[in-house]
Amino acid sequence: MSSETAVVEYKQADAAVEENEQKYEDVKNFNEYTKVTRKSLELWITYFQNQLGVLNFLAEKSDEEKEDFLFDLIDKDKNGHISAIELVAAFRANNAGMIFKRAMEKAITYVAMYDADNDATLDREEFKNFLARVTSEAESTFHDMCEYILMNVIFSANRNTAEEDAQAEKNADLISDDVKKKGRLYDALSDQRMMSLFAMFDQDGNGDIDFKEVANGIFKMKDIFAKSTQQVVHLMIMYDRDGNRTLDYDEFAWLILGICAIGEAEFGDVADALIEAVSSNNGLDDFNQEVSND
């Protein structure tokens, strides 16, 4: 029996049980009730036999085979890549009570974190790295974690509704853009140049950068900020999410990526230019004045 056959037979038994249970609503007498109940018991026996069949099938497989099987189960369109939309169902199956919106946010985050080639999906190698992270966070073994996720993906009743799936497909392009945007942030957060920039801008070394500290190095780059420093000031205010006129490391990274967007420039080029500008430590009175007056 193949992996696909084992799961298909289980799902068919599951659907048959659900369909028969609905017949109780139409029962009119004791005789009909007895017939429906007898059929229900027969279907439940088949259901559990098929469920046991899937478990026996999994027990015979290596960890690598289970990993491939899990990938194929989540990869609904069989294109060799797992999108955030496809990962949502797996998250909900493994987290009873998780609402669709929360599952989508989590899926976008994890795909962005492990999408090494920036195509907004996970290939098999990227998915393997994702599973390794999940296993580590759960303080489990890969064998146990993979089997646990598989059982939940196959057996869990916590699934998306048809309406949720339709809405996700309708917004597929927007979801993909969100994954790529978040992926750029994660790449920037782990880039040594971003860390160096933050340390250079944080002149008092307190772990936060105030608006005037941000001015160091930025104002000199008039070629990138030809559209006016005012836009940069507005970015600073927008990414200061707690409104304290300082930026922590994540907020600072979002600012730098926003600066890249203004200048239609790559992060690497902007980072190198900023490091050179900050290192020169020239006066930036004009930019400081804009920050003070905003």
What does the pLDDT read at residue 190? 84
pTM: predicted TM-score of the whole model, two decimal places? 0.67
Distance CA 88, CA 69 (A): 17
Per-residue pLDDT at 174 exceeds 90: yes
Per-residue pLDDT at 95 exceeds 90: no
240-255 pLDDT per residue, tens:
777 777 888 888 888 8
What does the pLDDT read at residue 63? 87
125-156 pLDDT per residue, tens:
999 999 988 888 888 888 888 888 888 888 88
pLDDT class of 223 with cuts at 50, 70, 90: low
Please state which of the ranges 49-63, 82-96, 149-163, 249-263 shows the lowest mean pLDDT.
249-263
Of all residues in the chain, the percent with pLDDT exceeding 90 is: 21
What does the pLDDT read at residue 119? 93
Per-residue pLDDT at 279 exceeds 70: no
What does the pLDDT read at residue 158? 80
Of all residues in the chain, the percent with pLDDT exceeding 70 is: 83
H/E/C letters for each residue in the chain?
Answer: CCHHHHHHHHHHHHHHHHHHHHHHHHCCCHHHHHHHHHHHHHHHHHHHHHHHHHHHHHHCCCHHHHHHHHHHHHCCCCCCCEEHHHHHHHHHHCCCCCCHHHHHHHHHHHHHHHCCCCCCEECHHHHHHHHHHHHHHCCCCHHHHHHHHHHHHHHCCCCCCHHHHHHHHHCHHHHHHHHHHHHHHHHHHCCHHHHHHHHHHCCCCCCCEEHHHHHHHHCCCCCCCCCCHHHHHHHHHHHCCCCCCEECHHHHHHHHHHHHHHHCCCHHHHHHHHHHHHHHCCCCHHHHHHHHHC
What does the pLDDT read at residue 57? 81
| More confident position, 273 or 278 | 273
191-216 pLDDT per residue, tens:
888 888 888 878 778 888 887 777 65
pLDDT class of 181 with cuts at 50, 70, 90: confident
pLDDT class of 289 with cuts at 50, 70, 90: very low
Mean confidence (pLDDT) of the chain: 81
Per-residue pLDDT at 36 exceeds 60: yes
Per-residue pLDDT at 226 exceeds 70: no
pLDDT class of 88 with cuts at 50, 70, 90: very high
Please state which of the ranges 11-25, 69-83, 206-220 shows the lowest mean pLDDT.
206-220
Per-residue pLDDT at 104 exceeds 80: yes
Per-residue pLDDT at 228 exceeds 60: no
Per-residue pLDDT at 21 exceeds 80: yes
